[in-house]
Structures are given as C-alpha cells and as structure tokens.
Amino acid sequence: MRALRRLVLLAAFGAILAALAWAAWFSLRPLEPPRIPFDFTVKSGASLKTVARTLADEGLLPEPQTFWLLGRVLGKAGSLQAGIYRLSAPVTPLELLDKLAKGDVLPIEIAFVEGTTFRQWLAQMKRHPHIRSTLDGLGEAEIRSALGISEPSLEGLFFPDTYRFVAGTTDVEILKRANAQMVRRLARAWEARDPGVPLAGPYEALILASIVEKETGQSGERASIASVFVNRMRKGMRLQTDPTVIYGLGASFDGNLRKRDLQADTPWNTYTRDGLPPTPIAMPGAASIAAAVNPAATEYLYFVGRGDGSHQFSRTLEEHNRAVAKYQLGRS
C-alpha cells in the first residue's frame, strides 16, 4: 500500500513538473502572428477566456486554454484593458499578457478641420467606429451640461486638431479635450493681442476669428481679412460678410446665396445688424485666432474674391466696385 502511495505521489509530482515545464515552455515560446501587422480588439468587459478563444480562432494561439490558465496563475486575468492592439513581430505569451494588462493599445485618431461647425463635429464623431456616442439626440442645453460649458452657444469653443484616443472613448471626452485646448490657445492669443483691437474680450476675438476662418482661402491673407473687419468696426460700418448670413440660414441654406437671403434678418446677418454676430460661426484654427487679435495694419475696408482663392483688397468703395467688375462680373 505504501509503495502504491509513493507511486501515486511520484506520478502526481511528475505531472506537476510536466505541467510546469509545459507552462514555462509555452510562456516563453514566441507566438507567430498570422499576419504582420496583426490587429485585434479587446472589448470593454471582455474576459481573458473570451480573448484567448478569439486569438486562437484567429491563429495567434495554438489553443486558448493554456493562455487562459497562464493568465489566471499570474493574476492578470482580471486586469485586461479594452482597446485595439497591434502586434508587429512575434511575441511570447508572457509579453502578450503584459501588453494586455498595461493597455498598450493602438492609438486611434480623429481629425477636425478648421472652419467646420459643431454640428459637423457631432456627425463626424457619430460615424467614427471607435468613438462611443453619448450625445446623440440630446439638445444643446443638455450637451452644454454634459460638457460643463456655460457659454450660450457651443459653436467655436473647440479647437480643430487631430486627437488621439483609445477605442471606446466617448464623444464627451474628446470634446472636453478640444475645449480645454481652445481655452488655452485663446487665452494665450488674447494676452498677446494688439491693444488697439476693438474687441471686448476673448469671446469676441473667437467670433471674429471664426469669420476670418470662413472668409480665408489662403493662409497669407488672414491678417488682411481680419484688418478689413477691424477697420469696419472702428468706423461703425456693418461687417457684411456672407458666411455669417449662411450660418444664420442654417439647414435652409441650399448652397446658393441669394439677394433675399442677405435681406432675411437673423441674429447672424451682418448685412442687417451692426457689429459682430452673437456667437462664432465655426471652429477657427490657430492662424485665424492670431489674425483676429493681431490684424494687419491696413486701410482696407473691402475685399472681393479673384476666383482663385485669393482676394483683391480695396480702401474705397470706388476701388471695390472696380474690383468687383473685374473679378466677379468679368469686365476689364
């Protein structure tokens, strides 16, 4: 009986040693990705068993059980981080478990373009496959509350840039980052402003910057475009800029600006109302913000498009009318 007991113990000990040897061999043996690069997604709340099964199905693991057991033994089964992972070379199971526990995920990007509107930002984020939409269907007041923003409008308050994030990030998180960046950049620009600009504060600078952004096709003209509006404000002239009218028309604008549109009064119609509109009309970039607070020193009061993205600037209405005849009406 004792001999039998010894044999059983020896067999059990041998099995344990064999299992440990197998685990050691498995944990240090490089896994060859089925393709390079090899991307896979770990969903929020996914268990290690589920991840192991998925990786086995995709050809990275020979079978899922050993990887799952290794993660359980090492205490990493409950520390998986959600996101998209990329393998660009062979990796050992130990390295893979460490990667999953650290959340070494593939950064994802979304790029917001200067001159776009808040409505366009929401639509862009909703289309993004890796952004979790939480604002869809909410009214503006509810969105302002979710973002902690007190301004009367959300337009213009977010800095257009490329933002990197991990899969599953919410639209609120991205917007908060963009708003914080706009607040910082606008504050720095306002501190460095020309003290003579007729702007009451940073928010008015943001409004003017958004107009400059929508009016400017060439970066080198921004300061001159800004100077036209600043000179008009100093003289008490109306700004008379088409992009503000278009913004006020909203969804009713069909792409063709007519005379009746210029005469249709809205809070943003700078043909029918004095001064700046009540809110920005788009998200301005850094160059337009800089131009708004430090416009070029000119006597320009008018500009007209030349048809190639550039503008002809004029000091007097007579000069402007000649430029309109030349560039808009095709008269020499």
Helix/strand/coil (H, E, C) string of 75-90? CCCCCCCCEEEEECCC
Q: Is the pLDDT of residue 7 over 70?
A: no
Nearest to 278 by CA among 210, 218, 330: 210
Confidence band, pLDDT 50/70/90 cuts, at residue 170: very high
Cα gap 228→215, rounded to integer Å: 11
What whole-number distance in Å separates Cα of residue 5 and Cα of residue 234? 102
pLDDT digits (tens, 9 = 90+) for 277-306: 999 999 999 999 999 999 999 999 999 998
Domains and CATH numbers, the chain: 26-102 (3.30.1490.480), 108-185 (no CATH), 195-327 (no CATH)
* pLDDT tens track for 183-236: 999 999 999 999 999 999 999 999 999 999 999 878 899 999 999 999 999 999
Predicted pLDDT at 266: 95
CA angle 39, 45, 47 (to 5 degrees): 75
What is d(CA 224, CA 303) in angstroms, rounded to the nearest whole number? 9
pLDDT of residue 16: 53
- Identify the pLDDT of residue 119: 95
Asked if 223 contacts 231 with a C-beta cutoff of 8 angstroms, the reply is no
pLDDT tens column, 81-140: 888 899 999 999 999 999 999 888 888 899 999 999 999 999 999 999 889 999 999 999
* DSSP, res 131: E
- Least confidently predicted of 51-55, 78-82, 211-215, 261-265: 78-82
Query: What pTM value is reported for the model?
Result: 0.78
Q: What was the pLDDT predicted at 283?
A: 98
What digits encode the pLDDT tens for the residues 55-66? 999 999 999 999
**20-50 pLDDT, tens digit each:** 566 676 788 899 999 999 999 898 788 999 9
Cα end-to-end distance, the chain, whole Å: 117
Quick check: helix, strand or coil at residue 54? helix
Q: Give the model's pLDDT for residue 21.
A: 63
pLDDT at residue 236 in the model: 96
Question: Across the chain, what does the average pLDDT equal?
Answer: 90
Q: Which pLDDT band holds residue 274 (cuts at 50, 70, 90)? A: very high
DSSP annotation of 251 reads: G
What does the alpha-carbon distance between residue 287 and residue 215 come to, in Å, rounded to a whole number?
13
In whole angstroms, give the CA distance from residue 146 to residue 161. 21
